[in-house]
Structure 1
Amino acid sequence: MKQLSALDAMFAYTETANTPMHIGQLLIYDPSTAPGGHVGFKDILRYIEGRLDGARIFRQKLVRVPLDLDHPYWVEDKDFDIEFHVRHIALPKPGDWRQLCIQAARIYARPLDMTKPLWEFTVIEGLDNVEGVPKGSFALVHKMHHAAIDGKSGLEMTLALHDTDAEMKPRDFGRNWQAEDEPNALGLLAKAQFNNVANPVRGLQNIQKLVPMPKRLLDVRREFAQRADAKTSIPKTRFNKKLSPHRVFDGREFALSDIKTIREAFPGATVNDVMIAVTSGSLRGYLLSKDDLPEQTLKIGAPVSVRSDDEKSSAGNQVTMMTVGVGTHLADAGDRLKFIMDETQRSKAMTEAIGAKTLMEVSGAMPAGLTAAGTKMMVRMGLVERFNPAINTVVSNVPGPMVPMYFAGAEMVKGFGMGILAEGQGIFHVVTSYNGKVILSFLADREQLPDPDNYAKAISRSFADLMAAAKKESAKQKKKKAKTKKATAKKSAAKKPKKRVRTSAATAGRAGRKAATR
């Protein structure tokens, strides 16, 4: 039995019918690589069953403390049934990308059963007309509760279910699963009384880490003041309203080589900066088309992992949030990327000054009962609509494997991340990578984004604009280098002493003088 951290517990407290707190993926597989060229549903069940020891989340369920007076606990579920967690459907005709996105969004919109281990897989067959996908392929919609897992540990869980070849060799994860009995209510309440005194003390100890030296305190204070000013000016858009229970989903993929071309054209840029710029252009283009683009820049939240090497095998959330302005007020794609580069550097400096790990630890200072009550009140009273948003959207970057991966012998051909919506944040972007591709996908509230295909087209246009800006910037850099090189050569030539030119008459005269002295 293990207790949730304050951050993990928050995701359990905010779970409602309109705000299911799971993250996930849409993964597409080609079964022709499997033994016999076919993968049946029973094959998938057996395959997953053989990998259950790969992550603790598979068999652990949540046990709440009475009245939420303390954070919940994970308990090994003695009634675990794999067939409850793995479902099976087929796409309606024509089995194209649009139908797949609709089905994936419907499945994803349904909350998980909070009395069972918090994950669910849905196998979708009938992908017969999806561009770039072999006919007869199948998809997997993967849902995992955010209370149990963050993007990085979720990726590790996904990797536990995959191989680097189609041979499906048995794997030993070094775990021996044992079921547990649920703790009784009196025992949980006794622990709650102790924890609600101890946790604030630990929180105060963590707060002391924020101010080890006067200069750092001054820098951090200045940064917080800037953020407070910025927060009051963060504009509202159509994506910052109360949520409905309905979702839409789509995404686009790009060659990693093209992303690197853009990055190299703007010295100092990262792949993450480039993908944030693609997102910024998408938001700008779509909101312009709806006559809803604010004059001020939108701001995004970018999760930052603070998971150490020693914590790689642990589940739960080890993240803090970096806030970044994305330059949606700028018309030029290149100018937006430069703006984002400055913003990410500023926000990284802030996170490093305080210590990202410390920021996360301080969240545990408040007693669990107050955390639960406050979180629920924010959600139920719709307070998000009365105040300016803290951010306009999230862009989560979760790098994936750059080699082919296999599930039950079937090769994964495409992979898309699926995020999490909170009240006041009606669209979520996930950047991931796989086998030479970089993928940008989005999950949104259907009432706030009724035309997901148009937003997907805005992503494609934004990427094209960035490619054009990169070519323009590269040409400008080459011209500048050539001009500098020419000026340097000219300057060098001017500094060299001129050689004396000896005429034939002068040479003859010198020779005559030498002869006369002999």
Structure 2
Amino acid sequence: MDRLSGLDASFLYLETPAQLMHVCAVMVLDQSTMPTPYTFADLMAHIDDSVHDVPAFTRKIRGVPMGLDHPVWVRDQQFDIERHVHRLAVPSPGGYRELMDLCAHLAALPLDRSRPLWEMWVIEGYRPDGPDGAAGDEKVVVFSKMHHATVDGVSGSNLISHLCSLEPDAPPLAPEEKPSPTRDPKRPELLARGVIGVATRPVTLFKVIGPSAELITKSIGRAREGTAMAAPFSAPRTSFNGTITAHRTIALADVDLDDIREIKKATGSTVNDVVLTLCGGALRSYLAERGELPESSLMATVPVSVRESSKRTQGANKVSALFTKLGTDIDDPLERLEMLAERNRNAKDHHNAISADALQDWAEFAAPRTFGLAVRTYANLRLAEKHPVVHNLVISNVPGPPVPLYFMGARIEALYPLGPVFHGAGLNITVMSNAGMVHVGAIACRESVPDGDALVQHFPGELERLRTAVAKR
């Protein structure tokens, strides 16, 4: 039995029928590399064998009486792989558009909280569109979902390694973990733990207030010096900054990692600077085509892993976040990159001055019932449309494997991550490197971004524009 950290539990409290808090991934597999011919039954059996002793795959949540404290993880004694791995086929003709519609539908379905919070949908019959428009060879696609209470970007990538290897017939990369505890606590024990947690909360609050007050003072100083990160509630409003619905749209794109690295080297920037520059350019073009480009720059929340610097041992989510302007008000891609690189340096310095555990510390005070009621009230009153925009979207950059990986023996041709969307920020762009490519996954509220491809199709062109500008300077 393990108690959820406040940050992990917050993703449970944030969830509503429209604001689903799971993270997804689209894996395109080449089954021709499998040691034995592909069958769904064999694939499911291999997944079952790989996850049955991994706590993150076999534990479920159990609430504390009266919501006195955050829930706890307990082992699912009735764990059944058939409740988590499902089989589907892409509707005819089985191309990209049909696959995206199917994945968007699956992403809009909530996870069953009575079971471990993950699912995999094995989708057969996908024939990706070739350069000439003709259908290519048939692929198997795995659409995975895991609740954000269970994983963040880094831990989610690590969990995938439990199912992957460096060779088709090699064992998984990750070492074996000890099985999760089997003891299921009784109600009196959970109640007692909740009471103790409530009683000690004022002491914890006192310890957090001091450093937070000092941080605010330093942030004001940075703002006066012009070295602070972008301030929330200062973003312009766009069509994807309102109350979201339960409908989703998904779009995918690919760019070459070597091209990004060449630009990084030539400009003295970082890979993340280049990625954010591409995002800013794609968003600028998308909004301009719709006649919606604001005069001021869009602002993104960028999750940052604090796994290496955190002093907390518990909790799946070890993240913080920084705010950054994307330069959507700048047409020249090189000028946008230079601006972003400078602002990101300031934002990183500002972020590094904040305790790695600050967000986790404050999340401990998220009261289960109060927090959940507040989120539902916020959505029902459509408050996201009535106050200044906090941020326009979330952009995540997740480092992936530098070499090809094999999922149950099938080579992973592409791996597209997809994060959650929120009321007030109905678009999420997540990128992940994989064996020399950068895979871009965009997920959005369908009513806010009805055609995600109209956005992601600009990524290759923006990369070429940036390469040309760097070469000419």
Query: How does the TM-score come out when normalised to structure 2?
Result: 0.92
C-alpha RMSD of matched pairs (Å)? 2.5
- Name the SS of the counterpart of 1:411 in structure 2: strand
1:307 corresponds to? 307
- Name the SS of the counterpart of 1:231 in structure 2: coil
1:209-228 matches, within 5 Å, as: 209-210=211-212, 218-223=217-222
Change in Cα spacing, 1:461 to 1:228, as seen in structure 2 (3 Å) is closer
1:429 corresponds to? 429
2:7 corresponds to? 7
Partner AA of 1:183 in structure 2: K
1:282-301 deviation per Cα after TM superposition (whole angstroms, max 9, x unaligned): 11111111111111111101
How far residue 434 of structure 1 moved from its aligned partner, in angstroms, is: 0.4
1:100 corresponds to? 99
Q: Does 1:234 align with 2:228?
A: no
1:203-352 matches, within 5 Å, as: 203-210=205-212, 218-223=217-222, 230-267=231-268, 269-308=269-308, 316-352=316-352
1:19-58 matches, within 5 Å, as: 19-36=19-36, 38-53=37-52, 55-58=54-57
1:505 corresponds to? none
Report if aligned partners of 2:5, 2:315 keep a CA contact under 8 Å in 1.
Answer: no
Moved more, 384-393 or 112-121: 384-393
Report if aligned partners of 2:69, 2:198 keep a CA contact under 8 Å in 1.
Answer: yes
1:113 corresponds to? 112
1:404-447 deviation per Cα after TM superposition (whole angstroms, max 9, x unaligned): 11112111111101110111111101010000111222101111
Change in Cα spacing, 1:9 to 1:315, as seen in structure 2 (3 Å) is closer
1:176-199 deviation per Cα after TM superposition (whole angstroms, max 9, x unaligned): 355333532x44333222212323
1:388 corresponds to? 388
Partner AA of 2:33 in structure 1: T
| Structure 1 unaligned spans of 5+ | 474-518
2:178 corresponds to? 175
Report if aligned partners of 2:417, 2:430 keep a CA contact under 8 Å in 1.
Answer: yes
Report if aligned partners of 2:310, 2:357 keep a CA contact under 8 Å in 1.
Answer: no
Say which structure is richer in helix.
1
Partner AA of 1:438 in structure 2: V
Kindly tell me the number of residue pairs found equivalent between the two proteins: 467
Moved more, 368-377 or 82-91: 368-377
1:361 corresponds to? 361
How far residue 218 of structure 1 moved from its aligned partner, in angstroms, is: 4.8
Q: For 1:353 and 1:82, locate their aligned partners in 2 and report how far apart those are by CA, in whole Å.
A: 44
1:144 corresponds to? 146
1:85-128 deviation per Cα after TM superposition (whole angstroms, max 9, x unaligned): 00000112222122211111111111111111100000001122
Q: For 1:404 and 1:312, locate their aligned partners in 2 and report how far apart those are by CA, in whole Å.
A: 33
1:508 corresponds to? none
How far residue 462 of structure 1 moved from its aligned partner, in angstroms, is: 2.0
Q: For 2:233 and 2:42, locate their aligned partners in 1 and report how far apart those are by CA, in whole Å.
A: 54
How far residue 375 of structure 1 moved from its aligned partner, in angstroms, is: 3.6
Q: For 2:239 and 2:159, locate their aligned partners in 1 and report how far apart those are by CA, in whole Å.
A: 34
Q: For 1:73 and 1:33, locate their aligned partners in 2 and report how far apart those are by CA, in whole Å.
A: 41
Q: For 2:395 and 2:152, locate their aligned partners in 1 and report how far apart those are by CA, in whole Å.
A: 14
Change in Cα spacing, 1:372 to 1:203, as seen in structure 2 (3 Å) is farther
Query: How does the TM-score come out when normalised to structure 1?
Result: 0.84
How far residue 356 of structure 1 moved from its aligned partner, in angstroms, is: 2.6
Change in Cα spacing, 1:428 to 1:5, as seen in structure 2 (3 Å) is same
- Name the SS of the counterpart of 2:191 in structure 1: helix
Query: Larger Rg: 1 or 2?
Result: 1
Q: For 1:311 and 1:229, locate their aligned partners in 2 and report how far apart those are by CA, in whole Å.
A: 27
How far residue 367 of structure 1 moved from its aligned partner, in angstroms, is: 4.8
How far residue 58 of structure 1 moved from its aligned partner, in angstroms, is: 0.7
- Name the SS of the counterpart of 1:304 in structure 2: strand
How far residue 230 of structure 1 moved from its aligned partner, in angstroms, is: 4.1
Q: Give me the identity figure in percent.
A: 32
Q: For 2:85 and 2:450, locate their aligned partners in 1 and report how far apart those are by CA, in whole Å.
A: 30
